[in-house]
Amino acid sequence: MTFDWNNLYSLAEYLSSNCDDLNADECIDREATFRTIINRAYYAAYNVSNQYVLKTFGKLSDGDGGLHARLIKTFQEFKDENINYENIAVKLNRIKSHRINADYKEKFQNGPPSYAATIAMKTSQDIISSINSL
């Protein structure tokens, strides 16, 4: 049985909806919750997009950068085939920067983590919806 990457988005959505309850007993740090929401939202969008690219094109574009950069590059390279591809690439790149910030930066950048989590959720949902409508 294969894993449904949309479940990562559902987890991020659950954490976002229940953030106040989760943090009420001070057992879970509020910023850690927002960072996790960003991470899960990103990976939901990334994996849904990656599955689409592998199914549609058979592989990621060659080139510099890791798998994440190559996934974005694949959508950019095929933008003439479908107008939605460029939009997906832009949104993946945007949410990726929030995920890198959430996962690697000791001091959160790009505004408060709660704001970045909201943006990550919306952007991830937009990407997943775009992929599902292709």
Q: Determine the pLDDT at residue 110.
A: 74
Query: What is the CATH number for 118?
Result: 1.20.120
Whole-angstrom distance, CA of residue 68 vs CA of residue 131? 16
Which structural domain, as residue segments, surrounds residue 89? 6-132
Kindly report the pTM of this predicted structure. 0.92
Residue 1 domain-assigned (yes or no): no
Residue 29 pLDDT grade (very low, low, confident, very high; cuts 50, 70, 90): confident
Nearest to 78 by CA among 117, 52, 115, 46: 52
62 found inside a domain = yes
Number of domains in the chain: 1
**pLDDT band at residue 28, thresholds of 50, 70 and 90?**
confident
Instruction: Round the average pLDDT of the chain to a whole number and report it.
Output: 93
